[in-house]
A and B are shown apart, each in its own frame.
Chain A
Amino acid sequence: MSVVHVDELQAIEMPDGFVWRPVRRHFGIRAFGVNAYTALEPGGQIVEEHIESTLGHEEIYFVLRGRARFTVDGTEHELGPGQLVFVRDPSLKRSAVALDDDTVVLALGGKPGEPHTVSAWEAMFAAVPASREERWDEAIAIHEEALTEQPDHAALLYNLACMEARGGRHVDALLHLSRACELEPKWAAHARTDSDFAAIRHEPGFPV
């Protein structure tokens, strides 16, 4: 058993301006997906604009505290505590901004009809603070842990390669980048212009 108050959860500020409060990861929950989000200031992003088509998730966004303005499928809705938006259709674009300085939104989601699998983006989000401070070993370890469960996840492999390239592990970077490109050829195009690979771009084995 473990207990935490939402304000005590780790606060990971994302490059897009919203703050991820990892709930599932905090407790090590394996059976379902749940996270909390806060904003840096009123008017700030609290749910990033996204769709769920790739993962096929149904999602519930529940306002735990404060107020938020959601935009779902192009329509705005202002929601207060105890209100929620259920996005059944994964292809609908959704986002939200906080309207109060203490707004908290809980996001619950998963794919119907399948056992829950931990979303790969959680590891990428969790590695953000370490990457920001160039603690590459830590960022790499977070990716490696996620890859033990999803060894053929191309985006995770690509991200891992980025961090290995930045951290001076050039052989590992080339290996993981090649594997990512093999699984999803689109990553080769990204790699050619990605500044993370500056140090290995001219190595033999770099995907061209």
Chain B
Amino acid sequence: MSDLPGYEILSIDDLDRYTTTQGSQVLRPLRRRLGFRPFGVNVWVGESAGDHVVEPHREPEGTEELYVVVRGCASFTVLDETFDAPAGTLVHVPPATFREATAQEAGTTVLAMGAKEGEAFEPGAWEDFFVAYAELRAGNAERGRAAMQEALEREPDAWQGAYNAACFEALAGETEAALAHLQRAVELDRREVQRYAPDDSDLDSIRNDPRYTELLP
């Protein structure tokens, strides 16, 4: 057993609060804070009425999800059906099905959990990236960098990690580091990088560097 405490008590109100770049939902990263390992679990908040509390998305890679409305009331859309989900409602969504939810009341809060059937859970690097970008936007580049580093260490051979690190560094104005990570991402999966990079405004600060053109002609 590690030297972590055998048990911990906390309130979801004690969790960090991170806003997203796209959409209006706020992430309160529960899994990351606890170091919970069996499956994914996080808290999402729509702070004002009308804000997203679950972003519009599918889970194309096979993650089965359950949403529990903890506070307030959410308006859920699953596939093409829209319904009210007051506190205490549980919504189960299979992987490839479209889903989104908005807050009908300020502070509507959803506990979201998910994993893939038949696979041991690995924390998604998206949690770290979410935190990294939010910290950078809030002016805490160092805290953001630490979250980014965790993702890179967890999945050193994923193109997404190197690519997101390049975006982070480009946004932070660290041209040399950004180009080095972009090069690494291209080495790992040139096709995917070529698909995203041209329209990604995060990379604007390095796009006119000749080394960028050399990497992505």
Contact = CB atoms under 8 A, between A and B. Distances in A.
Given A58-B37, A77-B9, A89-B7, A30 B88 contact: no
A204 interface: no
Q: Number of contact residues on B: which range applies?
A: 35 or more
Contacts of B97: 1
Interface in A55-94: 57-58, 60, 62, 64-65, 72-73, 77, 79, 81-89, 92, 94
**Central interface residue in A6, A88, A94, A110, by most chain B CB within 10 Å:** A88
B211 interface: no
Contact of B1 (A32, A82, A89): A89
A29 interface: yes
A88 B93 CA distance: 27
A152 to B, nearest CB: 19
Contacts of A82: 11-13, 70-71, 109
Contact of A115 (B1, B92, B118): B118
Given A7-B88, A65-B88, A88-B8, A1 B94 contact: yes
Interface residues of A, number: 48
B114 interface: yes
A88 B9 CA distance: 11
- Tell me whether chain B's interface is mostly helix, strand or loop, or mixed: strand
Nearest to A87: B7
Given A29-B64, A88-B4, A115 B119 contact: yes
A1 B120 contact: no
B59 to A, nearest CB: 11
Contacts of A94: 7
Contacts of B89: 3-6
22 contacts: A2-B91, A5-B89, A6-B89, A9-B90, A31-B116, A31-B117, A34-B66, A58-B38, A64-B87, A79-B9, A85-B7, A87-B6, A87-B7, A88-B4, A94-B7, A108-B39, A109-B38, A112-B121, A113-B120, A115-B117, A115-B119, A116-B38
